Structure 1
Amino acid sequence: MSNEPKHSEPTGADIVVKTLEQQGVKWVFGIPGAKIDKVFDTLADSSIQTVVCRHEQNAAFIAGGIGRMTGKAGVAIGTSGPGVSNLVTGLATANTEGDPMIALGGAVPVADRLKKTHQSLDNANLCRPVTKFSAEVDSPESVSEVLISAFRSAESGRPGAAFVSLPTDIMAAPAKCGVITPPTHSAAGPADSAAVKEAARLINQAKRPVVLLGLLASKPENAAAIHELIASRKLPVVGTFQAAGAISANLFSSFSGRVGQLNNQPADKILAAGDLVITIGYDSVEYWPSIWNKGNKRAIVHLDLLPADIDNSYSPAVELIGDIAATIRLLTPLISHSAPDAVIKELLDKIAEARQELARSSAAMNGTPIHPLRLVSELQNLLTPDTTLCLDMGSFHLWMARHLYSFRSRQMLISNGQQTLGVALPWAIAATLVRPAEKVLSISGDGGFLFSGMELETAVRLQSHLVHMIWIDGTYNMVAVQEEQKYGHPSGTTFGPIDPVKYAESFGAHGFMIQSPDQIQGVLKQAFDTPGPVLIGVHVDYRDNHKLFELVNERSIH
């Protein structure tokens, strides 16, 4: 008989963790529970750092933020029942925004899945409508198969969310399978050459072609190819909110601004003037075609990894389906345009003049509470290449989406899909992990802050060097302004105050208040010089917020 020690078979949980390690996962974010504790126990002996969060929704937000900044799926984990249901909002947000992430959820034993037992829930069906992939592992032999499929789905095409349900008995059982090694090379090639030639023909015969950039245009490799296209062919450019950073500073004169939510921006005039639109990495959820293209018969060239979602207002003449950067590099030399026509040039000149005037007037706004444009002016000076900015949702977000400029891919994280409150602080925590050498600033309104404010404790525990600014007005202002316009009065939009300084100190963080415009730069500098997370509160003057929602262009809709 051999005296060598016996090695037990790996469990389902072992295969889960080994698969995560093989995928290069460095962190998982979540909350433990009885139905997922075997995975947590196995993670303790792995190379992966387990980051305990204070709510599963925020764990999913952090994972989605990592996905957006790295292109590799972040991972969130929760227990069965409410642990999984709490993940749903984060899954929906990541999936709509095109952010790769994986969520793992505990589940009751397979034999109990149809019983009304403690925390029994049909996890996979619950998450299926808000993910690209949702499945339950139903045998120890299929653990790695399901996880690999989840990662491939989350990271391929237009990225998004995937969910895997892990029954507790399968996690504890011996797994008669190995860890599957995915292909080392798996990527789309450029679009069909005949389609590229036809797109070039349509663009060349157009008088005023306009480029509309979407989220995938802001991926670094895609943005580099777009820079070559715009620089050599002098095409006018418009971007959605999520395309922030796709245009470099030297191409700013060709960039007319961002569009989104309402057809009332200077860039909307450029978009309306075009007799052909080239969409790059664009998804209709970013800016509905029924807003910017309703009733138009002009040609659209759709350049993306996926075919278009065709509707009455978005039916491309040509689809260039394939790797975005490679396709742009095939298309660029075939385009003959070298300068915008007189109509577009006049509009671009007017936009540049208005932009300069707004910068001058914004810097001179000295009232208190502080006007959003003065804060935007100060933040523009702060947004150096070594800074990451994470924006929550609210009226403040529209001021910055329209008037704050970024010239680096994925530097400025903006949501306009589900428009989910609470994303900013979790995204900032993600940024401190994947970009530890950068300054990280996140911003929310006082309405959105408490949706994820409890994660300040997580940031303190991680010693995350971030600054979170809260714009304070005591209302859900974005809703209130729209209700005022529709019904003549707001309803259900007011709430009580919090003290950002005391709130921060109660978590072991630091807090500051900005009392006047001349304090903005000094307080921000002090905050960034302070180790660990810092909260900054500032009271804002929202009297001009109604201008954000005014419909000033002819094709605006209600």
Structure 2
Amino acid sequence: MSSENRTHQWAHGADMIVGQLEAQGVKQIFGIPGAKIDKVFDSLLDSTIRIIPVRHEANAAFMAAAVGRITGKAGVALVTSGPGCSNLITGMATANTEGDPLVAIGGAVKRADKAKLVHQSMDTVAMFNPVTKYAVEISSPDAISEVVSNAFRAAEQGRPGSAFISVPQDIADQPATGDILPASGVLQLGAAPDAAIDEVAKRIAAAQNPVFLLGLMASRQENISALHQLLEKSHIPITSTYQAAGAVNQQHFTRFAGRVGLFNNQAGDRLLRLADLIICIGYSPVEYEPAMWNTGEAKLVHIDVLPAYEERHYVPDIELVGDISATLSKLAARIEKPLVLSPRASEILIERRNQRELLSRRGAQLSQFAIHPLRIVRAMQDIVNNDVTLTVDMGSFHIWIARYLYSFRARQMMISNGQQTMGVSLPWAIGAWLVNPGRKVVSVSGDGGFLQSSMELETAVRLGANILHIIWVDNAYNMVAIQEEKKYQRLSGVNFGPVDFKAYAQAFGAAGFAVESTAELEPTLRAAMDIDGPAVVAIPVDYSDNPLLMSQLNLNQIL
């Protein structure tokens, strides 16, 4: 199949679609075939692109999103018409909210059947418009390369997100004529204007309690070096959203107040309340609602590739819009001396450091069974070294991990706080492993979230993916439960029955483990980590201290 940039006669529009995907550098596609899109699947057999069949379309989107987040190049999902497309919506919305570049291609009925009552006919472009950056149907064979190319541009540029392409069956099946467009290079932005950078430097010099709030875009690999340079030059304390996990390395960790998100009661929140200047780097309000952290008393600086999305609680005084790395490098060069922390800021950071040390020293002493979340986090910290990638689902465990498990490599940890989607961690792990098959991936979920995508264990086994999936088991949707209990003093719709997860994993051909006493926790995790291939560990968890997550939790209350 030719992918040269010349006029070409294609036997099928599907061949041209695949040729354009090859030109974009696509290495694998996740999906499920069907009659309206099977010609594209057939054309893929003659290409360099690997087809990875999955067990549910939403999981195809999650896997592709993981590829996008780690590489910066859009991952690709391919599904059939009707419910094949509608099943994608959660995955597409999640990727768009989380800033993960993803292109999805969905089949559609023939153009002549659009106005008829035929099966699997849906207005998918209208469905995807609200949850993507770009949603277009290919209306003519002449438009194939342009639509596909622009979908990748939309997904990858600016703040990344998802893009959807609808392919009518006749477009895929019939001949096409056209050129393959070259893949776009990385868009080269300049730094923000010098005058604006100078003004921010002046405000930093005058501030008593400045704070950096890091968002998703701060953790992109191309921005990390400049970010660390700025942290080293300024000595300004830092907090981050969950999506920016790993952006702060060990050298600057004493000034890191931890991650903020969900409930407003963390050390980072206290720094933000104290601040007279908050410098938001690569942050979007979807990561952590500004009303939760902005008192209105601090001046705000917005540093990003896009202007701020303004709302009542997020109206920046200065915006530095442009290439983040170049802007941070220029700002660092204008910092004349490091910040001397105020006594109150020092107190917050020292207390945070003491809390980390307390967990490190005494977390393993929590001996109850079912097992306390902090004991599990402490044990996980021992296995999640710098060579391990960690993917985290949504649930009560998500809060314990986000607050108390640390990462020092950008994009080492995939964690959500946008759509807060359940079921993402296992498919994310499969996508992450495909990008770096030499690197172990640990994924974590609750028992509720696991069963929303656990069918992909078969996919992991088929691929031989080196993944350890840890399930925190409590037979309930516990994150919902703690909020219902606080609001209504009773529970509704949160309890479900037990599953033998060890047997369940083994039924798929994965290694299965069940922790049956507190003393078994660490040895079982180590044994599961030694498996070369998919493994599952089920850990009963005691969530009785969860209500403390909603208050000013001091670990002395527990440890």
TM-score by length of 1: 0.96
Look up the equivalent residue of 2:212 and give its one-letter code: V
Aligned partners of 1:79, 1:413: CA distance in 2, in Å?
28
2:193 is aligned to 192
Aligned partners of 2:135, 2:514: CA distance in 1, in Å?
44
Aligned-CA RMSD value: 1.4
Shift of 1:341: 2.5
Alignment of 1:109-148 (within 5 A): 109-148=110-149
Shift of 1:132: 0.3
Give the stretch that moved more between structures: 162-171 or 357-366: 357-366
Shift of 1:385: 0.9
Does 2:303 match 1:303?
Answer: yes
Aligned partners of 2:105, 2:412: CA distance in 1, in Å?
28
Aligned partners of 1:344, 1:551: CA distance in 2, in Å?
17
Aligned partners of 2:11, 2:196: CA distance in 1, in Å?
50
Does 2:511 match 1:499?
Answer: no
Aligned partners of 2:345, 2:185: CA distance in 1, in Å?
46
Alignment of 1:375-454 (within 5 A): 375-454=376-455
Aligned partners of 2:500, 2:398: CA distance in 1, in Å?
22
Aligned partners of 2:521, 2:180: CA distance in 1, in Å?
52
The 8 Å contact of residues 226 and 328 in structure 1, kept in 2 or not, is answered as yes
Does 2:528 match 1:527?
Answer: yes
Aligned partners of 2:425, 2:373: CA distance in 1, in Å?
18
Look up the equivalent residue of 1:216 and give its one-letter code: M
Look up the equivalent residue of 1:494 and give its one-letter code: N
Q: How many residues align?
A: 546
Change (3 A) 1:316 1:346: same
Aligned partners of 1:551, 1:416: CA distance in 2, in Å?
20
Shift of 1:519: 2.0
Q: Secondary structure at the match of 1:370?
A: coil
Aligned partners of 1:354, 1:385: CA distance in 2, in Å?
22
Change (3 A) 1:68 1:185: closer
Shift of 1:351: 1.7
Aligned partners of 2:263, 2:100: CA distance in 1, in Å?
24
Look up the equivalent residue of 1:321 and give its one-letter code: V
Aligned partners of 2:99, 2:248: CA distance in 1, in Å?
19
The 8 Å contact of residues 23 and 181 in structure 2, kept in 1 or not, is answered as no
Change (3 A) 1:47 1:238: same
1:490-544 CA-partner distances (Å, limit 9, x unpaired): 1000001111111111111110011223322321222122232111101001000
Change (3 A) 1:385 1:532: same
Shift of 1:237: 0.3
Look up the equivalent residue of 1:161 and give its one-letter code: S
2:356 is aligned to 355
2:84 is aligned to 83
Give the stretch that moved more between structures: 218-227 or 184-193: 184-193
1:340-368 CA-partner distances (Å, limit 9, x unpaired): 22321222122212221233231211221
Which blocks of at least 5 consecutive residues in structure 2 are unaligned?
Answer: 1-7, 555-559
Shift of 1:337: 4.5
Aligned partners of 2:27, 2:113: CA distance in 1, in Å?
33
Q: Secondary structure at the match of 1:176?
A: strand
Alignment of 1:243-262 (within 5 A): 243-262=244-263
Q: Secondary structure at the match of 1:471?
A: strand
1:66-105 CA-partner distances (Å, limit 9, x unpaired): 1111111000111000000000000000000000000000
2:60 is aligned to 59
Aligned partners of 1:474, 1:466: CA distance in 2, in Å?
23
TM-score by length of 2: 0.96
Aligned partners of 1:45, 1:492: CA distance in 2, in Å?
49
Alignment of 1:481-492 (within 5 A): 481-492=482-493
Q: Secondary structure at the match of 1:338?
A: coil
Give the stretch that moved more between structures: 512-521 or 217-226: 512-521
Q: Secondary structure at the match of 1:30?
A: strand
Does 2:322 match 1:322?
Answer: yes
Aligned partners of 1:8, 1:263: CA distance in 2, in Å?
59
Q: Secondary structure at the match of 2:410?
A: coil
Aligned partners of 2:19, 2:88: CA distance in 1, in Å?
23
The 8 Å contact of residues 264 and 293 in structure 2, kept in 1 or not, is answered as yes
1:333 is aligned to 333
Aligned partners of 1:304, 1:210: CA distance in 2, in Å?
16
Shift of 1:185: 5.2
Aligned partners of 1:354, 1:470: CA distance in 2, in Å?
26
Shift of 1:255: 0.4
1:556 is aligned to none
Give the stretch that moved more between structures: 71-80 or 216-225: 216-225
The 8 Å contact of residues 263 and 552 in structure 1, kept in 2 or not, is answered as no
Shift of 1:552: 8.0
Give the stretch that moved more between structures: 15-24 or 155-164: 15-24
1:160 is aligned to 161
